Amino acid sequence: MANNLKKTGIIYNPDAKGAYNLAKKLESNLCEPFLLKINELNSTDLTDVNFLVSIGGDGTLLKCADAGAPLDIKIFGFNVGRLGYLAQAMPKDYKKVIEKIKNEKYKIDERLMLKVDCGKKTFVALNDVVIKGEVFSRTSILKLYINDIFVSNYLADGLIISTPTGSTAYNLSAGGPVLSPKIDAFTIVPICPHTLSVRPIVIHTTDKIRIEMSDLDKFYVTADGQNVYEVEGEISIEKYEKKAKLITLDEEKKEFYDILREKLHWGQKPEK
C-alpha cells in the first residue's frame, strides 16, 4: 500500500444519506484511517494526517479544506450532497478512486484562499468571506479600504469577498463575475446595494482589504458559510500564504468550463 494513503482522515456528514456507509467501506481499504463526523473536525489534532477524504456535499469539503490547508493536507471529495461542484467522485466509484490514489494517478489542484483577521481571531476561507451588520433586518454602511486607501462607502446588506473558487457560489448569486481558478484575483461584491452606481470589483491577490462598519459598533463575519463570528471595529482580509490542495483524478480531465456547463447548466436553454 502506498505511503500517501497513510494517516488518512475520513470526514463524513452524518446527515447526508449514505455518507456513513461509504465511510465504513473506505475505512476497510485505507491504511491508518480514522472516521470523524464533520462537526468533530475542528476539535481534532490533524498534525500527523497527510490526506483527508470528504464525504458529503461541497460544504463538507470546504470545512476539510479550511482545516487541512494550514497543514498542507491533501483533500479528496465524494459527493453525496446536492450540487457537488468541488466534490467530484460518486460513492459507486469508490474502489476505482482508491486504486487511482494508491497508484498516485492524480493531480493536485492548488486553490487560492483568504485569511481573515478579526483582531481576536484569525481564520481562513476557500470560497468566500461574508460581512453583514449586527441587525440583519436593515442595511449597513460599510467602509472599504484597499491597501489602506479609502475606496467607497457601501450602503448595502453586506459585502462578499470571494476567491476564484467561490466565484460560482454566493458571489455569483449576488451578481458578481465568475473567475477562472487560474486567475490571481479576488472579487468584492455588495449584497443588495442601495446605490445604483455601486458595482462588483475585481482586485489582485496582493491587495489587502480592510472593512470598517461606520453606523454600528458590531458586525458579523462568516467564512465559507460555516461559523459566524461577531466583530467589533474592523476586519482585515488578504491572501492566505498557503493554498488548498484538492485532489483531481487524471481520468477526469475536465476543464473549469466543462464543470460550469455540467453543474451550473451554463449557457443551456431552460428545460420545457
Active site residues: 58
Query: What type of residue is 98?
Result: I
19-27 vs 94-102: helix axis angle to the nearest 10?
A: 40
Sole residue written with cell 458559510: 225
Say if residues 136 and 151 touch (Cβ distance below 8 Å). no
Question: Distance of CA 108 to CAs 36, 56, 73, 170, 250, Å?
Answer: 23, 20, 11, 25, 10
Say if residues 229 and 110 touch (Cβ distance below 8 Å). no
Query: What type of residue is 83?
Result: L
Say if residues 250 and 107 touch (Cβ distance below 8 Å). yes
